[in-house]
Amino acid sequence: MNALLRRAGRLAVVLAVVTLITFLLVAALPGDVALDIAGADATEQEVAEIRAEIGLDRSLAVRYLDWVSGIVTGDWGQSWRTGERVWDAIAQRVPASLELMVLAQIIAVSLAIPAALLCARAPDGRVDRAIGFLAFGSVSMPSFMTAVLLILLFSLTLGWLPATGYEPLSAGLWENLRPMILPALSLALVEWTALMRTLRAEMIGVLQENYIALARAKGMSDRRILVVHALRPSSFSMITLLGLQVGRLMGGSIIIEQIFGIPGVGRLLVTSVFSRDFMMIQGCVTFFALAYVLANFCTDLAYARLDPRVRGLGGKAGAHG
Amino acid sequence: MADVAAPMPAAVEDRHAEAIAAHRRRRRLGPMFWIPAAWLVVLILAAAAAPWLGLAPPDEIDWMAIQAPPGVENHILGTDVLGRDILSRVLHGARVSLTVGFAAPAIGVGIGLALGLAAGYFRGWVDEVVGILIDAWLAIPGLAVLLLFSAVFGGSLSMVCLSLGLLFIPAAARITRAQTLSYANREFVLAARAMGASDARILLREVLPNIVWPLMAFVMIDIPIAIVVEGALSFLGLSVKAPTPSWGGMIAEGREHIEDSSWISLIPTAVMFVTVLSFNLAGDVIRRRFADTREAAL
């Protein structure tokens, strides 16, 4: 439990650093917000009033502390452009982003596990090589390129799936899933390869273990050995990777949401950057970092539950090293 | 003494020759290296020579050939919506992609190397601070950082290289740190210290030479990643500013017309895919080679 607490403490420090970096970057953005709000023909007096009103006349340190303490107490500030509360804007867009990422990860895992089983069954065999080459091709195809090709094929040529759009879950499960398939697939087709390779490598190691030899000696079929005995002990690294991938997935979702017009947090960030919506940018980046840190914390917990050897130790040791 | 000069028994010689042949076979890089390498060499040369190849300038508008398909006179790969030559734009875009591909990992690995050396060698609070910085850096999605950077510092090529380079710091720093840790207590380091060598000298002359090569293998993986991320940024319009052509930008421009003029998007897509795949394949062969020689050395 002690290690867990230490880790939580470290995460708090990490988040503090993240917010500081974000705040400084946003503060360095060119342009004067007060001038923007006041408009081109405002007098200097009016601009100064607005600046005081939104608190921009205070020092950087005061503004940072004010913003961070707001985050801790649940007040993420307000957009100077649209007047929206930052937290409400983000919370409203979380479901779409979350759905996209979960769906992508489900597709990625369901591609990775069978592929890894096929590979580990006969390492360096013909199937292994073919899948390995396929993985190389897949990972060399960035998600935005996959997205363009998938739209060309499934939306424009075949007309099976819509190219853009989003329907909330309340519109019905299929209506909700239909426009999500192509975006999720675009993300998954990059992510599955790393999962597959990790699982394959670890499984090849596990298959050397004595209890596998015993199972084989008992005459158990290959398939049963792979699925029943080897899969679970081989999946630890892959589960850790699932957590680490949350960061990449969020990065990927930024561009995918943009392409497919999904109203998620990533799209909010992009539009905020283009419109220089300072508070919204700070909020989105902080939210991403928070999500990343929490996801990894949860991965550690899951890891501890799955592997009896680290159970009770409170997760694996230090975050780095 | 006669038997020393005597020829080896035929069986032994055979086995010996066989072993040498097997060794050579392993040394040979094979088509999985040479085919990608050939493509990369051709691309790099063509990109470097792009202004002198007699192609239309990448931003010249040919009013007689708007959205011309590939194969049309004067435009081997066709033209885009504005009638600009796609081959010329692909090659000029390659200059951007390749520059970023090589410069960004070099910058990131350079900084990461310095941080990792310091953390692994001095331990204590230096290690702690570097660890927190790296964790914080990892917690922000790369694309979000890059969006902010490009908004703050604008889209010059050197700024794109620099901000992309920052993405490669964490991995490089972690690997360097781990390697430094394992070398910092080895006999030859102790010996150097006993002889009164300074910390700087020990780091540069004793530790660094041992960890540089494993890091190089990582640079090989970073090159295609840098090209992909630059592609994503320019796809969003946040890399180098128009009219400088970039692959991601070309794909994004062609997307509007993909139904009737798919080649505008598909050609840069194909070129980028083949390039990234080539870097991945060639890099993998070299990485395996490194792993083999290191195993052999042990």
* CATH code assigned at B112: 1.10.3720.10
Average the pLDDT over B248-268 and give the result.
84
**Token pair recorded at residue B204:** 């540069």
pTM: 0.83
Per DSSP, A316 falls in state S
CA-to-CA dists, residue B121 to A252, A271, B184, B190, B210, angstroms: 36, 44, 6, 13, 14
Distance of CA A203 to the CA centre of its chain: 26
User: Is B42 in CB contact (< 8 Å) with chain A?
Assistant: no
Residues A228-239 as b or e (16 or more Cβ within 10 Å = b): ebbbebbbbbbb
Beta bridge partners of A78: A85
Look up residue B185 and give its amino acid: N
Domain that holds residue B208: 32-297
Cβ under 8 Å to A: B residues 251-270? 251, 255, 258-259, 262, 265, 269
- For residues A35 and A53, what is the distance between their CA atoms, to the nearest angstrom? 13
What distance in Å separates residue B268's CA from the closest CA in chain A?
Answer: 10
Query: Which A residues 235-274 touch B at CB under 8 Å?
Result: 247-248, 250-252, 254-255, 258, 269-270, 273
Kindly report the three-state secondary structure assignment for every residue of chain B: CHHHHCCCCHHHHHHHHHHHHHHHHHHCCCHHHHHHHHHHHHHHHHHHHHHHCCCCCCCCCCCCCCCCCCCECCECCCECCCCCEHHHHHHHHHHHHHHHHHHHHHHHHHHHHHHHHHHHHHCHHHHHHHHHHHHHHHHCCHHHHHHHHHHHHCCCHHHHHHHHHHCCHHHHHHHHHHHHHHHHCCHHHHHHHHCCCCHHHHHHHHHHHHHHHHHHHHHHHHHHHHHHHHHHHHHCCCCCCCCCCCHHHHHHHHHCCCCCCCHHHHHHHHHHHHHHHHHHHHHHHHHHHHHHHHHHHC
B4 has a chain A CB within 8 A of its CB? no
- The fold of the A95-320 domain, in CATH, is MetI-like fold (1.10.3720)
Q: Is residue B125, in this structure, part of any structural domain at all?
A: yes
CA distance B77 to B83: 12
Whether B241 is covered by a domain: the verdict is yes
Any CB–CB contact under 8 A between A164 and chain B?
A: no
CA-nearest residue to B146 within chain A is: A251
Is B61 domain-assigned? yes
Compute CA distances A182 → A103, A146, A178, A250, A268, whole Å.
10, 9, 8, 16, 20
Which of B132, B235, B269 is nearest residue A14 as measured by Cβ atoms?
B132
Alpha-carbon gap, residue A321 to A299, rounded angstroms: 17
With CB atoms and an 8 Å threshold, state whether B131 touches A25. Answer: no
Q: Distance between CA A201 and CA B41 in Å, rounded?
A: 32
Residue A267 confidence (pLDDT): 92
Residue A161 DSSP SS3: coil
pLDDT per position as a tens digit, B203-237: 888 888 888 877 877 788 889 999 999 998 888 88
- Total beta-carbon pairs less than 8 A apart between chain A and chain B: 132
- CA gap B165, B143 in Å, rounded: 12
| Structure token digits, residue B257 | 């017309």
| Alpha carbons B229 and A190: distance in angstroms, whole number | 13
Task: Please say whether the beta carbons of B100 and B47 come within 8 A.
Answer: no
What is residue B144's three-state secondary structure? helix
> Does residue B24 lie in a domain region?
no
Alpha helices in B7-85 (DSSP H): 10-27, 31-49
Sort out which chain B residues have CB atoms less than 8 A from A136's CB and list them.
277, 280-281, 284
SS3 A78: strand
Query: Per-residue pLDDT tens for B90-134?
Result: 898 899 999 999 999 999 999 999 999 999 888 888 888 898 888
Q: What are phi and psi of B73, to 5 degrees?
A: -55, 135
- Name the band, by pLDDT with cuts 50, 70 and 90, for residue B41: very high
Q: How far is A50 from chain B (nearest CA, A)?
A: 23
A11: Cβ contacts below 8 Å, ≥ 6 apart: A293, A297
User: Looking at beta carbons, which residues of chain A come within 8 Å of B123?
Assistant: none
Which residues in chain B are contacts of A289 at CB distance < 8 A?
136, 139-140
DSSP for residue A313: T
- Sign of dihedral through CA atoms A271, A275, A278, A280? negative
- Can you give the pLDDT at residue A316? 42
Query: Is residue A319 within a helix (H) or strand (E), and if so which, with residue range?
Result: none
Give the number of other CB atoms < 10 A from CB of residue B125: 8
- Give the contacts of A114 (CB within 8 A, at least 6 positions apart): none
State residue A294's pLDDT score. Answer: 85
Q: Indicate yes or no: CB of B144 within 8 angstroms of CB of A151.
A: no
Which residue's entry shows tokens 């999985």? B32
Nearest to B263 by CA among B116, B113, B65: B65
In a structure prediction context, what are the per-residue pLDDT tens digits for chain A, which is 321 residues long?
A: 577 787 788 888 888 888 898 888 888 887 777 777 777 777 888 888 887 877 777 888 888 888 888 888 888 888 877 888 889 999 999 999 999 999 999 999 999 999 998 898 888 889 998 998 899 888 888 898 899 899 888 888 888 888 787 888 787 888 888 889 999 999 999 889 989 988 998 888 888 888 888 888 888 888 888 887 888 888 877 887 887 788 888 888 999 999 999 999 999 998 888 888 888 888 998 899 888 888 888 877 777 777 666 555 444 443 333
Q: Where are the domains of chain A?
A: 2-72, 95-320
Best of B33, B125, B138 to disrupt the A interface (most A CBs within 10 Å) is: B138
Determine contact, residues A265/A287, Cβ cutoff 8 Å.
yes
Amino acid (1-letter code) at residue A170 = S
Tally helices (H) and strands (E) across chain A.
14, 0
Interface mutation vs chain B, best among A6, A11, A14, A136, most B CBs within 10 Å: A14
Residue of A nearest to B233 (CA): A255
Tokens 């500030």 found at? A77
A31 touches chain B (CB under 8 A): no
Q: What are phi and psi of A305, to 5 degrees?
A: -70, -35
DSSP A223-263: HHIIIIIIHHHH-HHHHHHHHHHHHHHHHHHHHHHHHHT--
Q: Is the pLDDT of residue B79 over 90?
A: no
User: In residues, how long is chain B?
Assistant: 298
Is residue B202 within 8 A of residue B189, CB to CB? The reply is yes
Spatial CB neighbours of B139, under 8 Å, sequence gap ≥ 6: A14, A15, A18, A247, A288, A289, A292, A293
Q: Does the ipTM exceed 0.85?
A: no
Interface residue A27 vs chain B (CB under 8 A): no
CA–CA gap between residue B212 and residue B117 (Å, rounded): 11
Backbone phi and psi for residue A11, each to the nearest 5 degrees, phi listed first? -60, -40
With a cut of 60, say whether residue B243 has pLDDT above it. Answer: yes
What's residue B53's pLDDT?
A: 79
- Nearest Cα neighbor of B180 from B228, B247, B134, B121 is B121
Could you tell me if B115 lies within 8 Å of chain A, comparing CB atoms?
no
In percent, the amount of chain B with pLDDT more than 70 equals 90
Q: Note whether residue B195 is domain-resident.
A: yes
First to last CA, chain B: 35
Does the beta carbon of A284 lie under 8 angstroms from any beta carbon of chain B?
yes
The verdict on a CB contact (< 8 Å) between A269 and B144 is: yes
Element (H, E) at A176: helix A173-206
Residue B104 belongs to a domain: yes
**Beta carbons of A26 and B148 less than 8 Å apart:** yes
| Domain-embedded: residue B99 | yes
- How many domains are there within chain B? 1
Chain A neighbors of B140, CB-CB under 8 A: 18, 21-22, 285, 288-289, 292
- Number of C-beta neighbours around residue A283 at 10 A: 27
State whether residue A276 sits within 8 Å of chain B by CB.
Answer: yes
A85 three-state secondary structure: strand
